[in-house]
Amino acid sequence: METGTLGIRSLLRILGCFCLWILADAQMKIPPETVQQWASVFSVQLRDFSTKFSGSLLLQKKLKDVESIIKITELNGDNLLRDYSEEIERMLGSKMKSVKRLAESAEDADLYHEYNSSLQFDYYNSMLINTMDEDGNSVELGGEFPLEENEHFNNLPVNTQQSTIQVPTNVYNKDPKLLNAIYNSEALNDVYINNFLRDPTLTWQYFGSSYGFFRIYPGIKWTPDNNGVVAFDSRNRNWYIQAATSPKDIIIMVDISGSMKGLKMTIAKHTINTILDTLGENDFVNVIAYTDYVRYVEPCFRGTLVQADLDNREHFKLLVEELHVKGEAKIKNAMKESFKILNEARMNGQGSMCNQAIMLITDGAMEDFESVFEEFNWPERRVRVFTYLIGREMTFAQATKWIACNNKGYYTHISTLADVQENVMEYLHVLSRPMVINHDHDIIWTEAYMDTVLPNTKELFYTKAQSLLLMTSVAMPVFSKKKETLSHGILLGVVGTDVPLMEVMKLAPRYILGPHGYAFLLNNNGYILAHPDLRPLYKDGKKLKPKPNYNSVDLSEVEWEDTEEMLRTPMVNGETGSMTLNIRASVDKGKRPMYLTNNYFYTDIAETPFSFGLVLTKGHGSLMFTGNVSVEEGLHDMTSPDLSLASEWTYCETDIDPDHRKYTQHQAVIRYLQGKEPDLECDELLLQQILFDAVVTAPLEAYWNSVMLNDRVEPGVETAFLGTRSGLMRLMRYAGTETRVAKKFLTPLDKNNLFTIDHFPLWYRLAVENTPGRFFYYAVNDKGVKYVIATTAVTVSSGDKMAMAGGQCHCYSPDLLSGECHVKCIFSFPGDFPDVAWSVVLTLTTNSGTD
């Protein structure tokens, strides 16, 4: 396209190659006025070129024409915080009520059940359902079990009318005790269904039994591990362990004397690792190895307890692997050291301030150690001592058992690696007894985690926002209420349900928070559950995998500024408040820094260990505008083929009624506005926004078509598009699929440049932070595919307030910027050139690609 005397292609080619000539002859003197004149011509030419193909002036004029019906309001962060936190409290409160109903039903079923040692009972075993034998008959504990793909459950085949039972391979699936417990839990089926009817946003509901089986609703067919076994045991899951016990301080004492060599040491190390796996971030731990002297496996943790978060647990495991046997075992000094650590923690208000225990792992105890217990633990016996006798030798069994029984602990004998898991778990039942006897039905919430059990988890890595892949579980213990066993403290199991964090964060809509605003959630330990800068996955070759510490990322690691005292501490303490911080933010996966003034608002979520935070960017980020157009006028423009809505945003709730799940958000909005689906629950304010945006931006469709049909489109100009704060986009492809360089750009694979549930498009965020009306240019190199994006902000005014209406962009290929020499352009603001304020940096390459 020719503009003035030179086409933009010619201008860039001349400028680029002239820069090369300047570099070749550095001795040449060029007057500054000449350079200024070139820059001025270049800026005007490029601005006119971008304005023409984007249509930004037309859009600005349309907004000027409708200013009389526009109202701009300033967002009140305190009010938003109150409204959103109350919504989250209601949502999470509903999940807790569902779990309580499950616990009550399970306890009542057990109360009225009489144990039957000869009970014959067929149940739906999730491994065996819909499985036939060689004769074409259903296998035992299998049978026909209807399954249907359900979008609400990640498109897995499920049965919403029935639950199924999963039994680990190491548990006999027809054991009489197991059958009685499964028969009891049949009562949960009706509660599962009723809960789901009451709250259609519920996901998986389940009951993990102390006998090892796992009842899950809706019913699914379980997929075995790669080696064909079912290793999953619900009793090892964090939600089960945390609900079954209170927080605890644990000292692990391991005997590394010469007698522990070989298989014994291997079993001991596995036992330590298994104990560590039962701990969570609310627990505290240390590991001591002893012979004739006391050795801390981590010298930096001498004399103290450390939080048992994932990082520390994995660190201990690595150090335990390095242990070697030598010398003679002297238990007395190690036991004294362990008691001192626990007693000091209790006296100083450190650690969990709850249960305390010592785990003794040894092949025998020969010393006179009674005096140690008399000095440090008797008569109160505040510290329980659990003993694990390693190996087949039973010579010291009695002494080891005596230690446990006289210190309110538990003794187990571990002779093989296969014995470790089951024997280690016994200590949890002992620690749960006080809760059972006191009937403390404490509801727990887990840290954020990824569900690695369901078969399609890895597929979700590529389809959902990384920061919202995680979930949390709410769980509650189930106790026996029978009078004859009440004093024994029998734990029947744990009930729970999963809560996807994506559903929680939907309650703080993106369109209100703005392009740089966001909401986040963290727990009482300061670890992030949801935050737009939380990236729990990393790329291993072509595969995405969870990072080792993905669920123990501290708030201080994702906020750029040091907010430890000002923000993190009050949030961890469950306080309510606000603050303003000048921060350095990042966009484009940390590649581009941006300096913003953020207003932070935070409060706690009642009856949970969570705190909720809200960030609004000062200036345009705190302003919203609304316009008033008729539904009829807006509907006409909503059906345009060049218009789309943010598919991950919630304009209308399509997940409540199963009949609505077949609709995309765009389809749901249109059907609701047409009156065809009056039962849909829609965000009226957001619908008002998109109707207004659709009407005001409609002329762009005709404008872009006119440019393409009546003018000669410059080769290399590929796409014109716009986006509004309501998530509405319009798109014009100037180039066909075959000739386009940026084939992935603005497709579902290009999440970075689309409106998603956790961020605005990159081009939108860059535009709104620059001077309205001026274009911002940046180069993209996507795996060798290079193109340039020009973006500008379009504003709307009302009185003395001005808000960002949206971003107006166009995209062109590098062919437009190259001739005989290949030119990569990086444009940044501000600069000293007239009208278009930028500076230009040209990196020139030869045809061979050498700088």
Q: With the C-alpha atoms ordered 830, 831, 837, 842, is the resulting torsion angle positive or negative?
A: negative
Whole-number pLDDT of residue 594: 84
pLDDT at 401 over 90: yes
Quote the pLDDT of residue 566. Answer: 83
Residue 817 pLDDT > 50: no
Average pLDDT, the chain: 84
Q: Would you place residue 824 in the very low, low, confident or very high pLDDT band (cuts 50, 70, 90)? A: very low
Where helices occur in 322-456 by DSSP H, the ranges are 331-347, 370-376, 397-405, 420-424, 426-438
What digits encode the pLDDT tens for the residues 78-130? 999 999 999 999 999 999 999 999 999 999 999 999 999 999 889 999 999 99
Q: Three-class SS of residue 660?
A: helix
3-state secondary structure of 345: helix
pLDDT at 616: 95
pLDDT of residue 540: 81
Reference 317, options 255, 384, 268, 385; nearest CA is 268
Tell me the DSSP string of 135-175.
TSPBPTT------EEEGGGTTEEEBTT--EEE--TTS-TT-
Both tokens of 10, joined, read 């010619």
Q: Which residue has the higher pLDDT, 323 or 142?
A: 323
Of the listed ranges 360-364, 533-537, 837-841, the least confidently predicted one is 837-841
Site of tokens 């590098």: 814
131/138 Cα distance (integer angstroms): 6
Distance CA 517, CA 622 (A): 9
Does the pLDDT of residue 821 top 60, yes or no? Answer: no
Give the residue-averaged pLDDT of 811-823. Answer: 39
Map out the domains of the chain as residue ranges. Answer: 2-65+698-845, 98-235+479-498, 247-438, 628-696
Predicted local confidence at residue 544, as pLDDT: 80
Is residue 271 over pLDDT 90? yes
Per residue in 316-356, pLDDT (tens digit) is 999 999 999 998 988 999 999 999 999 999 999 999 999 99
Contacts for 149 with CB less than 8 Å, ≥ 6 apart: 155, 156, 157, 158
How many Å apart are CA 209 and CA 206, to the nearest integer? 10
Tell whether the model's pLDDT for residue 8 goes beyond 60. Answer: no
Torsion of CA 669, 673, 675, 677, to 10 degrees: 10
Cα–Cα distances in angstroms (integers) from residue 101 to residues 197, 218, 364, 477, in the given order: 13, 17, 47, 12
The runs of H, that is alpha helices, within 72-135 are 77-111
Among the ranges 40-49, 371-380, 443-452, which has the highest mean pLDDT value?
371-380
| DSSP three-state, residue 218 | coil
* pLDDT band at residue 4 under the 50/70/90 scheme: very low
pLDDT in tens, 676-719: 999 999 999 999 999 999 999 999 899 988 888 876 666 677 88
Residue 565 is given by DSSP the state I
Determine the straight-line distance between the first and last CA of the chain, rounded to whole angstroms. Answer: 30
**What CATH number does the domain located at 247-438 have?**
3.40.50.410
Q: In DSSP terms, which residues pair with 602 in a beta bridge? A: 577, 613
Give mean pLDDT, residues 771-776: 80
What is the token pair recorded at 426?
């016994």
Q: What share of the chain in percent tops pLDDT 90? A: 50
pLDDT score for 827? 29
The structure tokens listed for 844 are: 């020139």
Q: What is the pLDDT of residue 783?
A: 77
pLDDT band at 20 (very low <50, low <70, confident <90, very high): very low
pLDDT digits (tens, 9 = 90+) for 456-483: 555 555 555 565 578 999 999 999 988 8
Query: Which strand (E) or helix (H) includes residue 478?
Result: strand 471-479
Length of the chain: 851
pLDDT value, residue 23: 43
The alpha carbon of 234 is separated from its chain's Cα centroid by a whole number of angstroms, namely 22
Phi, psi angle pair for 781, to nearest 5°: -125, 95
pLDDT of 435 reads: 83
Selection from 244-258, 430-444, 726-740, 836-850 with the highest mean pLDDT: 244-258
Q: For residue 768, which of 621, 645, 560 has the smallest C-alpha distance?
A: 621
Using CA atoms in the order 454, 456, 461, 466, what is the torsion angle rounded to 10 degrees? -40
Least confident of 93-97, 295-299, 674-678, 734-738: 734-738
Mean pLDDT along residues 787-811? 64
Structural contact between residues 224 and 331, judged by C-beta atoms closer than 8 angstroms = no
Task: Dump pLDDT digits (tens) for 548-563.
Answer: 888 888 998 887 655 5
Q: Which residues pair with 414 in a beta bridge?
A: 390
> Which has the closest alpha carbon to 690: 753, 633, 768?
633
In this prediction, residue 812 carries a pLDDT of 52
Q: What is the dihedral of CA 611, 617, 622, 624, to 10 degrees?
A: -100
Which of the two residues, 701 and 541, has the higher pLDDT score?
A: 701
Give the DSSP letter of residue 446. P
pLDDT-derived band of residue 759, with 50, 70 and 90 as boundaries?
Answer: confident
Q: How many helices (H) and strands (E) does the chain have?
A: 24, 36
